């Protein structure tokens, strides 16, 4: 079953259960300044859960484009390293706004996954988790659905704080949240990794395919949970992970859509197609994120969303460079992506020329400093270097336009640590110098989105702090 068909089936199934089919919203949330990107299907419905917005329907189904590359949900560092993480992915979701709750959510999910006229997955390959104290969900899975108790795993507050659990889903630091139940698929003993909750759960044998969240609370800035007006349901299933299961492959990168993108990445970097080259996976992943960000109105810049885009483009370009492609190539993948996803996302097709032009411009700009920056980095890494000094990280960032995470990505490939504290000290020193000279500068005169190599006093330093926060995941 091709990804497009799976997407269609999901929408059809929930339509047959009286759900309104709603279009994907953009990657930039229209209704929420606390959130940088659409990280899940529920984002466009946040106000429905909170009771601030009433719609003509109480059940909805979507295939939502999502981005997890900054803030609380950030999978950028996982791309190329796990079989299941992307920056950009599609989330299939069904939603109840004060309509059905746990019982229907669970039984719908089971029917869709295992029903003979739907996906007909083998039941014995599925296992589920519930929030530790959620006896109600446990009993529905066990007594009504018939899952044996040894395949229902209770997960408590495993993230070191109350309500910080893999089975307590939160959108961000604030907003709708609640206990959840997750469905995992067992890809078999040939793949390393243990079941959820076990010491080796980080392996890729048991892959989480679907999360059903029982939205019950709104978390405020102080961390206090307030009950929502009506208990609701929010679910999310990664289309790429589900496609892998249905196409009998293990990794997301082996599904139809990704094979096409990997082939395009191989073509443009002059390599043979391969599943074992992480850099090809990174490029294939990043072209989706970048193309959809630009489609949704983001352009490369040195701040906020634009800087996330810039970081992702530069990361991809650097991976191409690593593969020996020192010319412009990244923008040439856009037509391949449009071929794969343009039917499902007409807005991408419409934006094709604009996307290519923006990517090409950023590639051209970065090409001016990438080569020299790489030389500086190579010199600093020569010999038995364990830690890359903060001064070098800063110089690469400030003079050569190397985002910190890109430098860290290169260092990780070589088992070298990055001295972030040292970087921070350099940045502070720069800020001091900027302050000292700031009486001669006027913020408004600075073309801030210009060259990555310029230093513009305090205008830049406020962005620097955010750059670091972004990298550390402390920026929403």
User: Which residues lie near Mg ion (CB under 5 A)?
Assistant: 166, 208, 211
84 makes contact with ligand ATP (CB under 6 A) = yes
226 contacts: CB under 8 Å, gap ≥ 6: 217, 218, 219, 220
Q: Which of 19, 46, 59, 68 binds ligand ATP (CB under 6 A)?
A: 68
- The answer to whether the CB of 377 falls within 8 A of the CB of 392 is yes
- Residue 210: name its binding partner from Mg ion, ligand ATP, none (Cβ under 5 to 8 Å by kind): ligand ATP
91 makes contact with ligand ATP (CB under 6 A) = yes
- Residue 94: name its binding partner from Mg ion, ligand ATP, none (Cβ under 5 to 8 Å by kind): none
CA end-to-end distance (rounded Å), the chain: 37
Question: Which one of the spans 85-93, 122-130, 431-439, 458-466 is the region binding ligand ATP (CB under 6 A)?
Answer: 85-93
- The answer to whether the CB of 392 falls within 8 A of the CB of 423 is no
Question: Which one of the spans 30-38, 130-138, 208-216, 427-435 is the region binding ligand ATP (CB under 6 A)?
Answer: 208-216
Residue 300 CB, shortest distance to Mg ion, in Å, is 26
**Measured distance CA(231)–CA(50) in Å, rounded:** 10
Q: Which residues of 167-202 are buried (b: 16+ CB within 10 A; e: fewer)?
A: bbbbbbebbbbbbbbbbbbbbeeeeebebbeeeebe
Tally Cβ neighbours within 10 Å of residue 17: 14
206 contacts: CB under 8 Å, gap ≥ 6: 127, 184, 185, 186, 187, 193, 194, 195, 196
Nearer to Mg ion, 87 or 461 (CB): 87
DSSP state of 236: E
Nearer to ligand ATP, 209 or 255 (CB): 209
185 makes contact with ligand ATP (CB under 6 A) = no
Residue 210 CB, shortest distance to ligand ATP, in Å, is 5
- Residue 470: name its binding partner from Mg ion, ligand ATP, none (Cβ under 5 to 8 Å by kind): none
Using DSSP, state whether 460 is helix, strand or coil. helix
Nearer to ligand ATP, 92 or 377 (CB): 92
Nearer to ligand ATP, 109 or 145 (CB): 109
Q: Which residue is nearest to ligand ATP (CB)?
A: 238
Q: Which of 119, 177, 209, 470 binds ligand ATP (CB under 6 A)?
A: 209
Question: Which one of the spans 138-146, 171-179, 234-242, 343-351 is the region binding ligand ATP (CB under 6 A)?
Answer: 234-242
Q: Which of 32, 201, 240, 409 binds ligand ATP (CB under 6 A)?
A: 240
- The answer to whether the CB of 262 falls within 8 A of the CB of 284 is yes
- The answer to whether the CB of 313 falls within 8 A of the CB of 365 is no
**Measured distance CA(37)–CA(97) in Å, rounded:** 22
206 makes contact with ligand ATP (CB under 6 A) = no
Nearer to ligand ATP, 212 or 325 (CB): 212
176 makes contact with ligand ATP (CB under 6 A) = no
419 makes contact with ligand ATP (CB under 6 A) = no
85 makes contact with ligand ATP (CB under 6 A) = yes
Using DSSP, state whether 399 is helix, strand or coil. helix
236 makes contact with ligand ATP (CB under 6 A) = yes
Residue 364 CB, shortest distance to ligand ATP, in Å, is 30
- In DSSP notation, 286-334 reads HHHHHHHHHHTT----SSHHHHHHHHHHHHHHHHHHHTT--SS-GGGGH
**Measured distance CA(42)–CA(34) in Å, rounded:** 14
The residues pairing with 471 across neighbouring beta strands, listed in sequence order, are none
Nearer to Mg ion, 209 or 459 (CB): 209
- The answer to whether the CB of 17 falls within 8 A of the CB of 26 is no
Task: Name the strand (E) or helix (H) holding 177.
Answer: strand 175-186
Residue 265 CB, shortest distance to ligand ATP, in Å, is 18
Question: Which one of the spans 30-38, 218-226, 233-241, 333-341 is the region binding ligand ATP (CB under 6 A)?
Answer: 233-241
70 makes contact with ligand ATP (CB under 6 A) = no
E-strand spans in 291-444? 387-388, 417-418
- Residue 318: name its binding partner from Mg ion, ligand ATP, none (Cβ under 5 to 8 Å by kind): none
Number of residues that bind ligand ATP (CB under 6 A): 16
- Residue 219: name its binding partner from Mg ion, ligand ATP, none (Cβ under 5 to 8 Å by kind): none
- Residue 241: name its binding partner from ligand ATP, Mg ion, none (Cβ under 5 to 8 Å by kind): ligand ATP
69, 71, 78: which is closest to 412 by C-alpha? Answer: 78
Token reading at 279: 């850099």
Q: Which of 59, 187, 205, 241 binds ligand ATP (CB under 6 A)?
A: 241
- Residue 69: name its binding partner from Mg ion, ligand ATP, none (Cβ under 5 to 8 Å by kind): none
DSSP state of 23: P
Q: Which of 10, 210, 321, 345 binds ligand ATP (CB under 6 A)?
A: 210
186 contacts: CB under 8 Å, gap ≥ 6: 125, 126, 127, 205, 206
**Measured distance CA(265)–CA(273) in Å, rounded:** 8
Residue 422 CB, shortest distance to ligand ATP, in Å, is 30
Burial degree of 71 (CB within 10 A; 0-12, 13-18, 19+): buried
The site for ligand ATP (CB under 6 A) is made up of 68, 75, 84-86, 89, 91, 208-211, 236-238, 240-241
């Amino acid at each position: 079953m091709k990804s497009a068909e799976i997407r269609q089936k999901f929408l059809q199934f929930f339509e047959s259960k009286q759900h309104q089919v709603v279009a994907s919203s953009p990657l930039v949330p229209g209704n929420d300044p606390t959130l940088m990107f659409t990280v899940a299907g529920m984002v466009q419905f946040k106000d429905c859960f909170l009771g601030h917005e009433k719609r003509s329907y109480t059940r909805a189904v979507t295939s939502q484009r999502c981005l997890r590359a900054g803030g609380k949900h950030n999978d950028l560092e996982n791309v190329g390293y796990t079989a299941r993480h992307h920056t950009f992915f599609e989330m299939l979701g069904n939603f109840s706004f004060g309509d059905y709750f746990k019982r229907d959510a669970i039984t719908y999910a089971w029917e869709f996954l295992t029903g003979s006229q739907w996906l007909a997955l083998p039941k014995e390959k599925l296992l589920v988790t519930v929030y530790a104290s959620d006896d109600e969900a446990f009993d529905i899975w066990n007594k009504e659905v018939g899952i044996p108790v040894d395949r229902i795993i209770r997960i408590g507050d495993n993230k070191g704080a109350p309500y910080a659990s893999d089975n307590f889903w939160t959108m961000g630091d604030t907003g709708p949240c609640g206990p959840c139940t997750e469905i995992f698929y067992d890809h078999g003993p040939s793949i390393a990794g243990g079941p959820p909750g076990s010491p080796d759960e980080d392996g890729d044998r048991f892959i989480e395919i679907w999360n059903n969240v029982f939205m019950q609370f709104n978390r405020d800035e102080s961390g206090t949970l307030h009950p929502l007006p009506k208990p609701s349901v929010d679910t999310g299933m990664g289309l790429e992970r589900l496609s892998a299961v249905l196409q009998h492959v293990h990794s997301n990168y082996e599904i139809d859509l990704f094979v096409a993108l990997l082939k395009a990445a191989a073509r443009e970097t002059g390599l043979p197609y391969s599943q074992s080259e992480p850099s090809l996976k990174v490029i294939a992943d990043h072209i989706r994120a970048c193309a959809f960000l630009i489609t949704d109105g983001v352009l490369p810049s040195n701040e906020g969303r634009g800087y996330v885009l810039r970081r992702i483009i530069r990361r991809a370009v650097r991976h191409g460079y690593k593969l020996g492609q020192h010319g412009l190539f990244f923008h040439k993948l856009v037509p391949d992506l449009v071929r794969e996803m343009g039917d499902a996302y007409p807005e991408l097709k419409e934006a094709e020329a604009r996307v290519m032009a923006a990517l090409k411009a950023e590639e051209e700009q970065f090409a001016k400093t990438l080569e020299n920056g790489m030389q500086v980095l190579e010199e600093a890494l020569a010999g038995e270097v364990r830690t890359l000094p903060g001064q070098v990280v800063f110089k690469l960032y400030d003079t050569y336009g190397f985002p910190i995470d890109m430098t860290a990505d290169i260092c990780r490939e070589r088992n070298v640590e990055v001295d972030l504290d040292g970087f921070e000290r350099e940045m502070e020193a720069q800020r001091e110098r900027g302050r000292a000279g700031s009486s001669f500068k006027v913020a408004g005169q600075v073309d801030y989105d210009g060259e990555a190599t310029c230093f513009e006093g305090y205008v830049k330093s406020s962005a620097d702090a955010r750059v670091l926060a972004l990298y550390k995941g402390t920026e929403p």
